[in-house]
Structure 1
Amino acid sequence: MITYCQRDVSRGLYRAFKVLHLKHLTRVSVRMSTSDTAVGLHVIPTRCYFDETVQVIVRGLLPKQSVKLVAEAKDDKGMIFQSSAVHKASEHGEVDLNRSPSLGGTYIGAEPMGLFWSLRPLTPHNKFTWWDASKPVLVDVKVVSHENPGHVLAKETHQRHFMKEGIQRVVVTDGKIRGTLFIPPGPGPFPGVVDLYTLGGGPSEPRASLLANKGFVVLALAFYRYKDLPKKVDKLDLEYFEEGIRFLQKQPKVKGSGVGVISISKSGDLALSMASFLTGIKAVVTVNGCCACTVFPLHYKGTVTPILPADPDKVILTEQGLLDISKAMDDPAANENLASVIPVERAHDCNFMFVASEDDMNWDSVGFAELAAQRLRDSGKENFEIVRYPKAGHFVDVPYMPFYPSGIHAAVGKVVAFGGEAKTNAHAQVDLWGRVQEFFRKHLDTDYAQHKAKL
């Protein structure tokens, strides 16, 4: 009886071991054929600030395995943006975006942040819009099989924040002005900057908040189409922007030596006008702005600066079916247009940075920058610098902001080309961001300027 039971148990254990062994072999076989259980996706760090870089690494692939990395984000308007890159793993089954070149997708070559700046809207001609800087942008990154795009091997969600801990975000409804104020932590005082964005009039919270992270009190000032401001305007009043300057200067944490203004596109001529007609402005950055008044006439204390005319007959239809409006503006240097040109030589104790993209298809940013600089030279002033970016387009924004090559122009009402090449534009954004901070510190922060002088 005992012998029989031992033989029966032995047979049962053998059968059970055989089943377990077969299951183990099957599991290993699946793992080796797809490698999905071994694949690890690492976005390091998992959260950072929008203007910071990350390291994207994929491990656990088969040697020389081809995979596609896909990134996806949704903006505040609900628009979905996607990017992709095809990579071949190393001999060790690894893809590191710092070294591994993209062989196809929305960008080509070794670009550590390519998945972020090459994000494209699924609905064409949309700009990545983010209204509330207190919220992070969530970017879903996944690794998929190159042969079977529906097979996800690994996935991770990365958070890109705008505001550092301790930054105050204050919605401004003081008097007539509307916008958002960003105040760094600490006793201060800090240099103050007014941030003006382009047509649309709302405040640019991403740029303003990221600048506040660097130690500036920043007022992102709206000028129409925002909250209770007019939805449509036929003129702009410089008194409104003067009120914004005075509001910023009154903030307890703002240094009293003068403030700066940063602008882009249409707001460029507003920034130049503020420096020319108002007091207390020591540094102005214009990114692809115009040296003459555009779109809306500018009123100030009974005087009117007329707009620079545009000629619709000079608009060109591109092969892609987009409008090229780069030659539509009249020549500001022509005698009949001189009344529209901003008298920048009137600016008292102010320094200028004119940023101009050479492939700007919105208008002749390089020519406008040169005209403004020449006007200063003719008055015996050298208080300016010109920064030119070959192959960059109209929208040179904060680092890693998705490229915006075309969209509905607020003044034209139709889709136009804004120009630029995605990779070059992305590199220009990184370079300019450092220049802007250095420029404002040099001209607004006396302590910093003295420290640099000693070095």
Structure 2
Amino acid sequence: MALTISKNLCFLSDLSLFIAASFSSQSAKMSSQVRLSLLPRATCMFDEPVQVKVAGLRSRQVVTLRARSTDEKGVAFSSSATYRADGSGEIDLERDSSLRGSYTGVEPMGLLWSMRPDALHKRFLRTKSLNPHVVKFSVHEDVEEEEGRMLAEATNERLLIADGVMRRPIKEGNIRGVLFTPPGGGPFPALLDLYTFGGGLSEKRASLLAGRGFVVLTVALYGHDDMARNIEEVHLDYFEEAIELLKKQDKVGSKGVGVISISKSGDLALSIASYLPGVEATVWINGCSANTILPLYYKKSQLLPALMFDKSNQPADSETLIGKNFMHNPLAEENKATLVPIERAEGRFLFVASEDDLNWDSKAYVEMMVERLQRHGKDNFESVCYPGAGHYLEPPYGPYCPSSFHGVVGRPVQWGGEPRSHAAAEVHVWKKIQEFFMTHSISDIGRTPDVKSVKPL
């Protein structure tokens, strides 16, 4: 009897192992059949969309798609969205709607712009152009309240510098920056990129614009390389020197240059266009209509005093600040001297404002500038406002940032915006900026530029 029981137990044990092995084999076979595709290719430019498709799932199977990456400071970003496959076991993010997760609805690039940091008040930083932004996409079994088993994975390399674009660090005279030159013989329109006001130097926007057919010089104002760590005033002479350096480049064909800015550098761009010759087109993004924070000088004489801010009206217990609440009113009688005399400018302006910008009252500043130009009989401007967009309008498809630490105020600040609307605004304005510069800078070149190696808008 004991021998019979032992044989039966062995049989049952073997049967259990066989069933488990069969299930594991079937499961492995199922997951190996799942395919995650990034089209038209897994490597693309940072500002290009990618089509995400999944195949090989069961009919109507529910799965979770995830995206994760790390910025150059080591901060991890991630997103997730749950989808139901169609009858053929396929998911296409250009067609299908997310049921839940970091976003809902049909959002082809939602996994990218909805990525969030793993810590509060962290802004996505990708300032160096030579290293790609690497994003891992993956498909997981849908398991509530935990990450299900991975069924497939694909890596998206999002390049910041296109093939053939030349990158040259600049350390000439007083200028510290990086020059980007497109492939081909040219001639190309020239742009001065004032991306940051702080000590860092961001190459992302400049390198991407070079891939679109512009010679771009991005410059630091302080705190970079051997420059002073802090400054008490800004000198237009520095930007005049930068413009002259830019115009001397072999592939530059335009007589003048374009200037692109954002935030504090917006008022610097206004002053450059108003006081310096040869500025054909200026893009102002979410800045101020007055000279702010630091007085502006030219040839050792002060041109404009600084419009200051007052943080006393912020709640003492507030974890984050809203910058637009503590800037002084530039239209107040005691502050009017800080207003930039943009009616002096001969070139064209593109004013870009986010209606939910919490750092500057950008829309109100655009209205001030439009009124001022019209009052002086000028029509050399166009403007665009984006409802639901926040402060940092950048090249598209990067993670949206609701708040981050601000070095000037020494605390986290809110940038504003709703993620979906902000992402859509970035896509639209990025194309508009390129069209604006091509329209108003290329006219001086005299012939069609050599853009055989440059990707279209």
- TM-score, length-normalised on structure 2? 0.89
Partner of 2:183: 185
SS of aligned partner of 2:179: strand
Larger Rg: 1
Mark the runs of 5 or more structure 1 residues left unpaired by the alignment. Answer: 1-18
| Counterparts of 1:264 and 1:401, CA distance in 2 | 16
CA shift in 2, pair 1:29/1:138, >3 Å: closer
Displacement of 1:150: 4.5
Q: Equivalent residue of 1:210, what SS?
A: helix
**1:35-434 matched pairs, under 5 angstroms:** 35-44=30-39, 45-147=41-143, 149-301=147-299, 302-316=301-315, 321-347=319-345, 349-434=346-431
Structure 1 position 176, deviation (Å): 0.8
Shift of 1:179: 0.8
Q: Which amino acid aligns with 1:350?
A: G
Shift of 1:117: 1.1
The one-letter code of the counterpart of 1:310 is F
> Partner of 1:10 in structure 2?
none
State whether residues 396 and 430 of structure 2, in contact with CA within 8 Å, keep that contact through their aligned partners in structure 1.
yes
3-state SS in 2 of match to 1:107: coil
- Could you tell me whether the CA contact under 8 Å between 1:406 and 1:418 is conserved in 2? yes
Find the aligned partners of 2:260 and 2:229 in 1 and give their Cα distance.
Answer: 23
CA–CA distance in 2 between the matches of 1:447 and 1:236?
30
Superposed displacement of residue 25, structure 1: 11
Deviation at 1:256, TM superposition (A): 3.6
Cα offset, 1:97, TM superposition: 0.7
Cα distance in 1, alignment partners of residues 443 and 19 from structure 2? 70
Distance 1:447 1:176, change over 3 A: closer
- Give the CA deviation at 1:390: 0.2
Superposition CA RMSD, Å:
2.2
Instruction: Describe how 1:20-39 pairs up with structure 2 within 5 A.
Output: 27=22, 30-31=25-26, 35-39=30-34
CA distance in 2, matches of 1:324, 1:234: 24
Change (3 A) 1:416 1:60: same
The answer to whether the 8 Å contact 1:315/1:326 transfers is no
Q: Which has the higher contact order (CA 8 A, sep 6+)?
A: 2
Query: Is the contact made by 2:253 and 2:444 (CA closer than 8 Å) also made in structure 1?
Result: no
SS in 2 for 1:178: strand
Aligned-partner Cα distance in 2 for 1:80–1:266: 28
| Contact 1:71/1:82, CA 8 A, preserved across alignment | yes
Task: Give 2:11's aligned residue.
Answer: none
CA distance in 1, matches of 2:104, 2:82: 9
Cα distance, 1:85 vs. partner? Answer: 0.9
Residues 201/28 of structure 1: CA separation in 2 closer, same or farther (3 Å cut)? same
User: Offset of 1:317 from its aligned partner?
Assistant: 7.3
For the residue of structure 1 that corresponds to 2:66, the secondary structure is: strand
Conserved in 1, the CA contact under 8 Å of 2:322 and 2:413?
yes
Alpha-carbon distance change, 272 to 447 in structure 1, aligned in 2, over 3 angstroms = closer
Letter in 1 for 2:380: N
Q: Which amino acid aligns with 1:285?
A: V
- C-alpha distance in structure 2 between counterparts of 1:444 and 1:406, whole Å: 35
Relative distance call for 1:55 and 1:350 in structure 2 (3 A) is same
Cα deviation 1:397-420 (Å, max 9, x = unaligned): 101121111011222110111100
| Distance in 1 separating the partners of 2:316 and 2:355 | 20
Q: Is the 8 A contact 2:255 2:445 kept in 1?
A: no
Equivalent residue letter for 1:115:
L
Aligned to 2:451: none
- Name the SS for the 1:285 alignment partner: strand
Deviations 1:238-263 (A, max 9, x none): 11111111110111111242100000
Judging changes above 3 Å, is the alpha-carbon distance between structure 1 residues 133 and 28 closer, same or farther for their aligned structure 2 residues?
A: same
Query: Alpha-carbon deviation of 1:35?
Result: 2.9
Q: Is the 1:441–1:448 Cα contact (8 Å) retained in structure 2?
A: no
Structure 1 residue 27 displacement after superposition: 4.1
Q: Is the 8 A contact 1:199 1:410 kept in 2?
A: no
Partners of 1:432 and 1:317 in 2: CA distance: 36
**1:220-239, Cα deviation, whole Å (9 max, x unpaired):** 11111211112211211111
Return closer, same or farther for 1:109/1:448 CA change in 2, 3 Å cut-off. farther
SS of equivalent to 1:339: helix
**In 2 relative to 1, CA 315–450 (structure 1 residues): closer, same or farther, beyond 3 Å?**
farther
Contact 1:177 1:244 in 2 (8 A): yes
Q: Distance in 1 between matches of 2:391 and 2:317?
A: 17
Q: Name the aligned partner's letter for residue 75 of structure 1.
A: D
2:240 match: secondary structure: helix
Deviation digits for residues 82-102 of structure 1 (CA, Å, limit 9, x no counterpart): 111111122221111111111
* Structure-1 residue corresponding to 2:432: 435
* Structure 1, 353-362 or 62-71: larger mean CA deviation: 62-71
Write the distance in 2 (CA, Å) between the matches of 1:410 and 1:372.
28
Deviation at 1:57, TM superposition (A): 0.8
- Compute the TM-score of the two structures, normalised by the length of structure 1: 0.90
CA contact under 8 A between 1:355 and 1:387: conserved in structure 2? yes
1:26, distance to aligned residue in structure 2 (A): 5.3
Q: CA deviation at 1:318?
A: 9.3
Percent sequence identity over matched residues?
Answer: 46
Cα distance in 2 for residues equivalent to 1:163 and 1:440: 20
Instruction: Give the length in aligned residue pairs.
Output: 429
